[in-house]
Amino acid sequence: MNGEVEHERQAIEAAIGDMTLVGVLGRNAERFPDHPAIQWKVGDEIRTLTWSEYRVQIVEVAAGLCTLGVEAGDFVAIMGGNRPEHVIADLGILHAGAVPVSLYNTLVAEQIRYIADHCSARVAVLENAEYLERWEGIWGGLPNLTHIVVMEPSGDSGDERIMSWEALRSAGREALAGDPEMVQRSSSAVAQSDLATLIYTSGTTGVPKGVMVTHRNVLWTLECVARAYSLPDHLRLVSYLPLAHIGERMASHYVSLWWIGSVRYIPDLSEVAAGVQETRPHVFFAVPRVWEKFHAGLMARVNAEPNARRRALALGAIELAIEAQRAEQEGRHLGLVDRLKLRLFDRILFSKKFRTGLGMDELKLAISAAAPISADLLLFFRGIGLPVFELYGMTESSGPGTSNVSGANRIGTVGRAMPGVEIAIADDDEILLRGGLITQGYYRDPDTTAATYGEDGWLRTGDLGRMDDHGYLSIIGRKKEIIITAGGKNVAPARLENLINEHALISQACLVGDGRRYLTLLVALDADMAEGWADSQGLEYGGFGEFTRHSQVLKEVDRVVESANARVARVEQARKWTVVSEKWSAESGELTPSLKMKRRVVLERYASEIEELYED
């Protein structure tokens, strides 16, 4: 470890001291009691809880859980969308001395049963009757589950083990009236080494694993982030991705605590654009697919401009902005005339029409993570004045591990190590990470923990990468996903797949060829983009299934595949491809909730289509 990294670690340790998330919440409520903490929309009304009001409800929930028998070290499951009750429950569980476990809403009953049984969940906090139905069907196989709390009950269930959210808070208030120090005792016993949450990985390769994230991991990561990016207090944030994912949990829930910010909770992805416009966030975290949709929406507006001269001017402005970013990456400078043009374009187009139109005119930091993002998209957004940086990390590293930052941004890489973090590349190209953000291992899984977490502190990420002379990391692919062809060639599928996935019309590409003489592709189209693309091409849209078979669509996919093939080595090229007729999603099982492809599921589900590609 070099001296700079050691200095950064000492500074981080000094900054977090012996704090816990419980202590951070108390600090915020005492110092900024009237500052908005969380917001959500009911009808046309935006409602707010201040930090003091937020803490009152958290303490009530903590006391209510104690009346249900929740004790220090117990696990409490949460299954619900991005709404105030979710995070109030999360922090209430911590104040009771227990551990919150958020589950993805898309999980089927058997997956829920596995996780709830694995962590011996004592209580489950669910959003509504639809979630309750899934849990009631498996309750008999969960001997440790004593109570279920429903945020939006449909009526009296007749089962005394099931109670409403309001009944839980009421029980908490009553308990506090008789014992005002109840929650003070349980929360003051929480230590930095205790678990802040248990996050079950979404399982791209098999059974989910429960990653143990401590208070120290969270606080260490937050201070690490503070040293990577220059951000003021009282940030405005939005939360719309699953809180069961470390990225969303860190980027909104935990960041709001550290920066004394306010979070607008958006329950449905279809409401994100409107929510962002109303909130005008300072920080925005998104997976690449969200950035792709923002880009497609902006370009659709530009191309829909009826005035040909204005449309051509806007397209020319975008092209010049992208070229300016490309020049910056290459160490070049545009001429004086082009620089003056860009200033004018920024004032009359990018600032007013694009950034303000998106609700991102006050954005200080934007992050793309969880999957590779197209370099062209980053050039576009940075060209129009949105500071989007690509970040790399994983649940096992509490989220971030590397990031591009202002003044050290190399598009096409995932940046350099975060402050206090070490990176190494093993002999087989596996990426290793070390630092205070590395989590404690997998709950009740010592063998996998030993295989992943080294005694020397290094986390074996399972990702393959290369690092240049300046410390910038590039991701090659996943170690477990390497394809070995019949000719013995090792191919990382992510390289070709990511190039194909850059096209807005394509949701996912899956490269096939393990043990085969050549490589082939399964291509899934983006159902959300299909109708708009058809309209832009003058095609009649007769439904998604028909769209996937249209000759013009297939011709476009062929063009995309051939273009991607031309950008990789011959051994990495796909010889054949086919477009599947189904939409891939987390609900149908092909994708994780964070929109990563479940390769094993896809290969099994499309076995017959794959065989047809090799019939020759």
> 484 pLDDT exceeds 90?
no
Q: Name the DSSP letter for residue 411.
A: B
Long-range own/partner contacts, residues 516-520 (CB < 8 A, 24 or more apart): 516/485, 516/486, 516/614, 517/485, 517/486, 517/487, 518/485, 518/575, 518/576, 519/483, 519/485, 519/491, 519/572, 519/573, 519/574, 519/575, 520/574, 520/575, 520/576, 520/577, 520/578, 520/610, 520/613, 520/614
Residues with Cβ within 8 Å of residue 169, at least 6 apart in sequence: 57, 60, 61, 64
C-alpha to C-alpha distance for 592 and 582, rounded to whole angstroms: 16
Q: What is the mean pLDDT of residues 468-485?
A: 91
Return the exposure string of 196-221: e unless at least 16 CB atoms fall within 10 Å of the residue's CB, then b: bbbbbbbbbeeebbbbbbbbbbbbbb
pLDDT of residue 158: 82
C-alpha to C-alpha distance for 321 and 302, rounded to whole angstroms: 15
Whole-structure pTM over 0.85, yes or no? Answer: yes
Backbone angles phi, psi at 568, to 5 degrees: -125, 165
C-alpha to C-alpha distance for 229 and 236, rounded to whole angstroms: 15
Partnered with residue 81 across adjacent β-strands are none
Residues with Cβ within 8 Å of residue 336, at least 6 apart in sequence: none
Residues with Cβ within 8 Å of residue 384, at least 6 apart in sequence: 298, 318, 321, 350, 354, 355
Which residues of the chain are in CATH 3.30.300.30 domains? 482-613
Sheet holding 388-394, edge to edge: 283-286, 365-368, 388-394, 399-403, 416-417
Between the alpha carbon of residue 361 and those of residues 148, 151, 264, the distances in Å are 43, 35, 17
> 1 pLDDT exceeds 70?
no
What 3-state DSSP class applies to 446?
helix
| Contact predicate 259/283, CB 8 Å | no
> 113 pLDDT exceeds 70?
yes
Q: What is the pLDDT of residues 57-101, one digit of tens each?
A: 999 999 999 999 999 999 999 999 999 999 999 999 999 999 999
pLDDT category of residue 201 using cuts at 50, 70 and 90: confident
Query: Treating both helix axes as pointing N-terminal to C-terminal, what angle do 494-501 and 551-565 enclose, rounded to 10 degrees?
Result: 130
Q: What is the mean pLDDT of residues 107-120?
A: 94
pLDDT of residue 528: 87
C-alpha to C-alpha distance for 242 and 115, rounded to whole angstroms: 17
pLDDT of residue 595: 76
Partnered with residue 591 across adjacent β-strands are 597
Biggest CA-to-CA distance, the chain? 78
Q: What is the pLDDT of residues 244-258, one digit of tens each?
A: 999 999 999 999 999
What 3-state DSSP class applies to 214?
strand
Which residues of the chain are in CATH 3.40.50.980 domains? 21-190+232-281
Burial of 75 (0-12, 13-18, 19+ CB in 10 A): buried
Q: What is the 3-state secondary structure (H, E, C) of 345-394?
A: HHHHHHHHHHHHHHCCCCCCEEEECCCCCCHHHHHHHHHCCCCEEEEEEE
Say what percent of the chain tops pLDDT 90.
83
pLDDT of residue 203: 54
Q: What is the pLDDT of residues 509-566, one digit of tens each?
A: 999 999 999 999 999 999 988 998 998 888 999 999 999 999 999 999 999 999 999 9
What 3-state DSSP class applies to 237?
strand
| Contact predicate 285/252, CB 8 Å | yes
pLDDT of residue 206: 62
Of 3.40.50.1980, 3.40.50.980, 3.30.300.180, 3.30.360.10, the CATH number of 21-190+232-281 is 3.40.50.980
Q: What is the pLDDT of residues 335-365, one digit of tens each?
A: 999 999 999 999 999 999 999 999 999 999 9
Residues with Cβ within 8 Å of residue 516, at least 6 apart in sequence: 485, 486, 614
C-alpha to C-alpha distance for 111 and 98, rounded to whole angstroms: 22
CA geometry: angle 482, 486, 492, nearest 5 deg: 20
Fold (topology level) of 482-613: GMP Synthetase; Chain A, domain 3 (3.30.300)
Query: Treating both helix axes as pointing N-terminal to C-terminal, what angle do 308-329 and 336-345 enclose, rounded to 10 degrees?
Result: 120
Q: What is the pLDDT of residues 145-177, one digit of tens each?
A: 999 999 999 888 789 999 999 999 999 999 999
C-alpha to C-alpha distance for 198 and 212, rounded to whole angstroms: 5
| Contact predicate 478/431, CB 8 Å | no
C-alpha to C-alpha distance for 382 and 86, rounded to whole angstroms: 34
| Contact predicate 61/167, CB 8 Å | no
Count CB neighbours of 91 within 10 A: 24
**What's the whole-number average pLDDT of the chain?**
94
pLDDT of residue 2: 82
